[in-house]
Structure 1
Amino acid sequence: MIFFDDIDVGTRTEHGSVTVTREEIIDFATKYDPQPFHLSDEAAAMTPFGKIAASGWNTCALTMRVLVDSWKEQQAMGLGSPGLDELRWLKPVYPGDTLHVASEVVEKKPSRSKPHIGSMWSDILVTNQHGELVLKFRSIVMMLRKTAGAPQLDA
């Protein structure tokens, strides 16, 4: 079990990867972001993308899935997030791209009002199979601490 206290500023973690499919791009776009360049090669050919490209929100959702699967595997004691900062879509994501998700802890603070919780800021970095950065954001995560006065979990 990983707690707030177990993680140091500067810790870098490779969380895993996911390969993007054309079907997934179209399904996501149909439901949530039905812009033509996410739905059709013909429409995308008339844009700077040149071919069908994933919605940035689709890329974020895929990234979140990789992160959550990694945290579950590590049994990290995450308590949710109040948000994120500095979201940037840096390069298009195309069918067949494999996205690699990594994080680096840049800051952490124990809560002043709730001694059993701490907040951690991490840069989330997503690269494609060519090592190109396609997505970057700063995540804020609340985590359970293993300090005196903190609720203890039964193992």
Structure 2
Amino acid sequence: MLYFEDIEVGSVERFGNYAVTREEMIDFASRYDPQSFHLDDEAAAKTHFGRLSASGWHTGSMAMRMIVDNMKDRRQAGLGSPGMEALRWLTPVFAGDTLRCESEILDKRRSASRPEMGIFRSRLTVFNQHDKPVMSLVSTGLIEVRGPGAGT
């Protein structure tokens, strides 16, 4: 089990292998982001994308799937997240792309008001098969400490 004390500032973890399909892109966009350049080849061809592209929200969802799958391989005492900042969609994602993630721990601290809880910030970068960053964000995570007397 991974606890607050096990998190090392500066550590980088690489994980994920997500194949993006046209069908999934269209299904997601149809349900959650029905803009023409996510749904219609002709409309997309007339944009700066040049072809059908995945919704940025879909890219975030694919990243979340890779994060959760990675957590299955090593259990952690995670308590969720109060949010994220600095979300950027850097490069369009297209059908046929294969995505992967890198996560770097930026900082960590014990909660002043809840000593049983640790707080850490990490930067997630999602890359395509050409090692080109397609999305980045900074998130805050909450995680259990081993015990009330555990050190930082």
Match in the other structure for 1:101 = 101
1:113 aligns with 2:113: yes
Contact 1:16 1:100 in 2 (8 A): yes
CA offsets, 1:56-110, max 9 Å, x none?
0000000001001111221011101000000000000000100111100001111
1:53 aligns with 2:53: yes
The runs of at least 4 consecutive aligned structure 1 residues that moved more than 2 Å come to 147-150
Q: How does 1:55-134 map to 2 (within 5 A)?
A: 55-134=55-134
| Structure 1 residue runs without a partner (length 5+) | 151-155
Q: Partners of 2:17 and 2:125 in 1: how far apart?
A: 12
Q: Partners of 1:148 and 1:4 in 2: how far apart?
A: 12
Q: How does 1:125-144 map to 2 (within 5 A)?
A: 125-144=125-144
> What is the number of residues matched between the two proteins?
150
TM-score, length of structure 2 as denominator length: 0.96
TM-score, length of structure 1 as denominator length: 0.94
1:4 aligns with 2:1: no
CA RMSD in angstroms comes to 1.1
| Structure 2 residue runs without a partner (length 5+) | none
Q: Partners of 1:143 and 1:69 in 2: how far apart?
A: 18
Contact 1:12 1:103 in 2 (8 A): yes
